[in-house]
Amino acid sequence: MSIGLWLKGARPKTLATSIASVMVGAAMARVHIEQMGTCVAIYPEPAYCAANRAQQDLLLGRFWTVTFLCLLVALFLQIAVNYANDYSDGVRGTDAGRGGSESQSGKPQRLTESGLVPAKHVFIAAIICAGIACVCGIAAIVISQAWWLFAVGAASLVAGWFYTGGKHPYGYVGLGEVGVFLFFGLTAVLGTEYALCGMVDVGGLLGAVAAGLFSCHILMVNNLRDIDEDREHNKRTLAVRMGESGARTLLIVCCVIAWIIALLMCGTLWWPWGVVLLLSGAGVPVRMISSVKKHAFGPALGAASFQALLFAVVLALSVAL
């Protein structure tokens, strides 16, 4: 049992979306915080200007600490979900044939199915990662005093487990993409924004929708890759329900919507260079879609992960420059 096997079990290609979502939330919070220092040039200076600057100084002083904690929450929660998914699918038999190396099966090796790691150890690893996410989340909430995020965190943990765990996992009835969109898109982005600046706005909501759709791309590619095995094991993912052609069409639609929102946001914040930088990576979604059509799911998954990070990095640059 090697560290490398555990790292593969964490599914590092999926972690890009967690990083991207926190970056998007932090970028939009930064926009709001910087706007707080703007005040009308009149004399005497209104009292609210001094109050806004004091609040701005407070938020800037804890900005990077809270951002880092939010990033740890997102990463460890994602890893916990991946381990929990490995455990649940393994004990259900859904990952049958995924015990050998990737070169043998053509698909990533799973910890539980491989037999190299006892199922209970995978379950414990999921709990440990979820615990680390909880500790970091509590620290972020205490520092930011965003107390209602306790409820959001609890809901995220429950959603993470019941994706493939429990008696009636929602990932087995075609609602996996909904869960990813809500919790690794909307919740991650808007939760980060609120923790950093104490509010959410239209810009944050648009960023959350785009980040949620980019996150869904990874799951859509995975489900298209596993469509035959999932159908055989009665795992009724959205790809199984819609069929391969319908699932590919939905992937294209979600990709177009996400890119339109991304271009709109980056162009608004940094015209025209935000658009130019984002369009420099326009070949990435094309490669993702064409690779899926050719059943080259490895490159498709890499492209799906990369475009989420591309959007987050360009958005952050658009805010900073």
Q: Is pLDDT of 93 > 80?
A: no
Over the stretch 234-264, which tens digit does the pLDDT of each residue have? Answer: 889 999 999 999 999 999 999 999 999 999 9
Query: What rounded mean pLDDT belongs to the chain?
Result: 91
Greater confidence (105 vs 135) lies with 135
% of the chain surpassing 70 pLDDT? 95
Rounded to 5°, angle at Cα 283 from 281 and 287: 130
Q: Is the CB of residue 81 less than 8 Å from the CB of residue 159?
A: no
Mean pLDDT calculated for residue range 128-139: 96
Those residues whose C-beta lies under 8 Å from the C-beta of residue 194, and which sit 6 or more positions away, are: 146, 149, 200
The length of the chain in residues reads 321
pLDDT above 50 (res 151) = yes
Handedness of CA 240, 244, 246, 247 (dihedral sign): positive
Q: What is the pLDDT of residues 259-309, one digit of tens each?
A: 999 999 999 999 999 999 999 999 999 999 999 999 999 999 999 999 999
If you average pLDDT over residues 167-177, what whole number do you get? 92
pLDDT for residue 102: 57
Query: Rounded to an integer, what distance in angstroms lies between the CA atom of residue 102 and that of residue 312?
Result: 30
Type of residue at 96: A
Can you give the C-alpha Rg of the chain in angstroms?
Answer: 21
* pLDDT per position as a tens digit, 13-33: 889 999 999 999 999 999 999
pLDDT at 42 over 80: no
Please check the confidence at residue 105 and state whether its pLDDT lies above 70: no
pLDDT at residue 104, as a whole number = 47
> Is residue 82 within 8 Å of residue 10, measured between CB atoms?
yes
